[in-house]
């Protein structure tokens, strides 16, 4: 009986061994083995458990700069080699992104807005409204608006403490400033900053939590009900703001005085060019960009300044030499070389958005590897910035930008047809906020906090974990610091 059972078992094991070997031979891309479907389950589980950013770094570290894994059963490439990354960014058949359709419907991004709009025709129709708002006259206004908003918020928060140090809930403070700037530039209606900032954070948590969830997750409404409510709450607020804007447009005597991004979208809806849902989502996305990513970027920059006094000294000396006693102006921006190098090095060393997601819309070849239509792509920019070109890639050092860096090696905003449409305005806003703050105050970390000992999450973006405690910084007036 034993010999009869052994023969079929040995035959089965032999066939299994041959099958695995054939599968591995066919898999020309580096990465975990398929192994009868166990590999895809493990890799997908790792992304759900670790977060997109952390899992991408794990697989690039283990298998190399081009890796094949699976997310939700779909073949996915993780790229951190500059040649492969630039190939994807510049090609027009990678203008779509990937994510669970039910999740995108929940947060309003399914075929709406531009961030995760995966309908190429609707995305192409929508993007020009953003491009118009984020360049030209809007871009020229940005610096003055950023300076004024930062100054007003500093005076409101610290006006009564001009001779003493003040402890500031820094992320909340930066989110209020960036939301105010976005409202002044793109919507221009009265709003409650604190309420909307809170709703934006909950919306982002929902977006991050749901994006890669399996379909079965959405079969049980009680599981995702609170996330659905968080997304709907922000959508409702934006809907109310748009109603206020429409009323202002109806009552305006001179329409050109209040024309802006929201106005153009409302007129497009009136003429049947955009749907109401798309208009609402576009306004939502342009309002969340500051409190969502830019505020965290500036927080990381202030922490780096606090940890590197020699860098702060160079920056402040340059600001004083260029601007003197007056506020920074558009004509000064090209002269603020140290400030720009600092911003670039901060985004390289401590990025907030350190990857971007794409989907292949047709068959292709990337660095010699065949890629099928429908393949998901993760461009691991944060890792790319630390494995190629830079002299001191693993440390924060302005020498990394002492000379011009070839564009292919440094892509904080991406390039090509789906690059960040707000990259120019983002740089102006960051310069305006930083220069206005540093002219007036020195910043120090609170209770010995450093970038190294702050707990961070690296999922949809790299950001501080705020679930346990608020992050604070100490602002000291420069006249007191100098004394």
For the segment 390-394, the average pLDDT, to the nearest whole number, is: 94
Is the pLDDT assigned to residue 338 strictly greater than 80? Answer: yes
Spatial separation of the C-alpha atoms in residues 35 and 55, rounded to whole Å: 20
| Binding-site positions for heme | 420
Is the pLDDT assigned to residue 420 strictly greater than 70? Answer: yes
Structure tokens at 252: 């305006």
Determine what percent of the chain is predicted with pLDDT higher than 90: 81
Q: What is the pLDDT of residue 22?
A: 45
Lowest mean pLDDT among 411-420, 431-440, 459-468: 459-468
For the segment 370-379, the average pLDDT, to the nearest whole number, is: 97
Tens digits of per-residue pLDDT, 64-108?
999 999 999 999 999 999 999 999 999 999 999 999 999 999 999
Q: What is the pLDDT of residue 112?
A: 97
| Binding-site positions | 420
Q: What is the pLDDT of residue 150?
A: 97
Q: What is the pLDDT of residue 27?
A: 47
Q: What is the pLDDT of residue 1?
A: 47
Q: What is the pLDDT of residue 483?
A: 44
Beta strands in 28-73 (DSSP E): 66-71
For the segment 172-192, the average pLDDT, to the nearest whole number, is: 96
Q: What is the pLDDT of residue 478?
A: 87
What is the CB neighbour count within 10 angstroms for residue 365?
Answer: 9
Is the pLDDT assigned to residue 6 strictly greater than 60? Answer: yes
Q: What is the pLDDT of residue 256?
A: 65
Output b/e per residue, 413-442; b: 16+ Cβ within 10 A: bbeebbebbbeebbbbbbbbbbbbbbbbbb
| Distance in Å from the first CA to the final CA of the chain | 94
Q: Hey, which residues does 67 pair with through a beta bridge? A: 78
Q: What is the pLDDT of residue 296?
A: 95
DSSP string over 319-388: HHHHHTTSPP-GGGGGG-HHHHHHHHHHHHHS-SS--EEEE-SS-EEETTEEE-TT-EEEE-HHHHHHHS
- Tell me if residue 359 falls in helix, strand or coil: strand
CA 442 centroid distance within chain: 27
pTM, entire model: 0.91
Structure tokens at 158: 């610290």
What is the CB neighbour count within 10 angstroms for residue 107?
Answer: 28
Higher pLDDT, 128 or 403: 128
Domain extents in the chain: 28-482
Is the pLDDT assigned to residue 161 strictly greater than 60? Answer: no
Which residues fall within 8 angstroms of residue 30, CB to CB, at 6 or more apart? 63, 64, 66, 67, 68
Are the C-beta atoms of residues 90 and 416 closer than 8 Å to each other?
yes
* CA distances from residue 210 to 31, 43, 102, 384, 464 in whole angstroms, order as listed: 25, 17, 9, 27, 19
Lowest mean pLDDT among 269-283, 328-342, 435-449: 435-449
What is the DSSP pairing of strand 74-79 with strand 376-379? parallel
Q: What are phi and psi of 206, to 5 degrees?
A: -65, -45
Beta strands in 38-108 (DSSP E): 66-71, 74-79
In CATH, what class is 28-482?
A: mainly alpha
Q: What is the pLDDT of residue 14?
A: 65
Tens digits of per-residue pLDDT, 296-330?
999 999 999 999 999 999 999 999 999 999 999 99
Is the pLDDT assigned to residue 21 strictly greater than 60? Answer: no
Q: What is the pLDDT of residue 469?
A: 64
Tens digits of per-residue pLDDT, 234-277?
999 999 999 999 999 988 877 666 679 999 999 999 999 999 99
For the segment 125-139, the average pLDDT, to the nearest whole number, is: 95
For the segment 122-127, the average pLDDT, to the nearest whole number, is: 96
Give the single-character DSSP code of 419.
S
Q: What is the pLDDT of residue 26?
A: 44
For the segment 424-452, the average pLDDT, to the nearest whole number, is: 94
Lowest mean pLDDT among 11-20, 197-206, 244-253: 11-20
Is the pLDDT assigned to residue 335 strictly greater than 70? Answer: yes
- 26-30, 249-253, 356-360, 448-452: range with highest mean pLDDT: 356-360
Q: What are phi and psi of 408, to 5 degrees?
A: -65, -20
Which residues fall within 8 angstroms of residue 263, CB to CB, at 6 or more apart? 245, 249, 255
What is the DSSP pairing of strand 441-445 with strand 472-477? antiparallel
Q: What is the pLDDT of residue 163?
A: 66
pLDDT bracket for residue 388 (50, 70, 90): very high
Structure tokens at 19: 């099958």
Is the pLDDT assigned to residue 222 strictly greater than 60? Answer: yes
Q: What is the pLDDT of residue 25?
A: 42
Taking Cα atoms as reference points, which of 145, 115, 111 lies closest to residue 130? 115
> Can you give the three-state secondary structure of 84-148, one letter per residue?
HHHHHHHCHHHCECCCCHHHHHHCCCCCCCCCCCCCHHHHHHHHHHHHHHCCHHHHHHHHHHHHH
Is the pLDDT assigned to residue 200 strictly greater than 50? Answer: yes
Lowest mean pLDDT among 194-208, 446-460, 465-479: 465-479
Give the single-character DSSP code of 459.
S
């Amino acid at each position: 009986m034993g010999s009869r059972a052994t023969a079929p078992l040995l035959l089965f094991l032999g066939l299994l061994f041959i099958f695995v070997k054939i599968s591995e031979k066919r898999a020309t891309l580096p990465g975990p083995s398929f192994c009868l479907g166990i590999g895809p389950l493990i890799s997908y589980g790792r992304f759900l458990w670790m977060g997109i950013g952390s899992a991408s770094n794990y697989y690039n570290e283990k298998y190399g700069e081009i890796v094949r894994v699976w997310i939700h059963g779909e073949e996915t490439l993780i790229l951190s080699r500059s040649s492969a990354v630039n190939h994807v960014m510049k090609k027009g058949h990678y203008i779509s992104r990937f994510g669970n359709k039910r999740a995108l419907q929940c947060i309003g991004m399914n075929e709406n807005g531009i961030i995760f709009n995966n309908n190429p025709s609707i995305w192409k129709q929508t993007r020009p409204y953003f491009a118009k708002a984020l360049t030209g006259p809007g871009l020229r206004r940005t610096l003055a608006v950023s300076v004024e908003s930062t100054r007003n918020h500093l005076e409101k928060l610290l006006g009564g403490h001009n001779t003493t140090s003040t402890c500031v809930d820094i992320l909340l403070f930066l989110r209020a400033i960036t939301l105010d700037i976005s409202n002044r530039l793109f919507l221009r209606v009265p709003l409650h900053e604190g309420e909307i900032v809170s709703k934006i954070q909950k919306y982002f948590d929902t977006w991050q939590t749901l994006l890669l969830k399996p379909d079965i997750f959405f079969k049980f409404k009680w599981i995702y009900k609170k996330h659905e409510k968080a997304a709907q709450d922000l959508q409702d607020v934006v809907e109310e703001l748009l109603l206020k804007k429409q009323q202002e447009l109806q009552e305006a005597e001179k329409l050109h005085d209040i024309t802006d991004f929201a106005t153009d979208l409302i007129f497009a809806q009136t003429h049947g060019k955009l749907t109401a849902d798309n208009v609402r989502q576009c306004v939502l996305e342009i309002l969340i960009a500051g409190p969502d990513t830019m505020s965290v970027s500036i927080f990381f920059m202030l922490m780096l300044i606090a940890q590197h006094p020699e860098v702060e000294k160079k920056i402040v000396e340059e600001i004083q030499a260029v601007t003197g006693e007056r506020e920074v102006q558009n004509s000064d921006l090209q002269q603020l070389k140290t400030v720009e190098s600092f911003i670039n090095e901060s985004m390289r060393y401590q990025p907030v958005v350190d990857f971007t997601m794409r989907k292949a819309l047709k068959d292709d070849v990337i660095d010699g590897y065949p890629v099928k239509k429908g393949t998901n792509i993760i461009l691991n920019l944060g890792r790319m910035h630390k494995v190629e070109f830079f002299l001191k890639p693993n440390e924060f050092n302005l020498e990394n930008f002492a000379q011009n860096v070839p564009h292919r090696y440094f892509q904080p905003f991406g390039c090509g047809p789906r690059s960040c449409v707000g990259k120019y305005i983002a740089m102006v806003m960051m310069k305006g906020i930083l220069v206005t703050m540093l002219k007036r105050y020195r910043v120090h970390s609170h209770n010995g906090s450093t970038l190294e000992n702050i707990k961070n999450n690296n999922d949809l973006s790299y950001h501080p974990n705020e679930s346990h405690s608020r992050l604070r910084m100490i602002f000291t007036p420069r006249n007191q610091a100098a004394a």
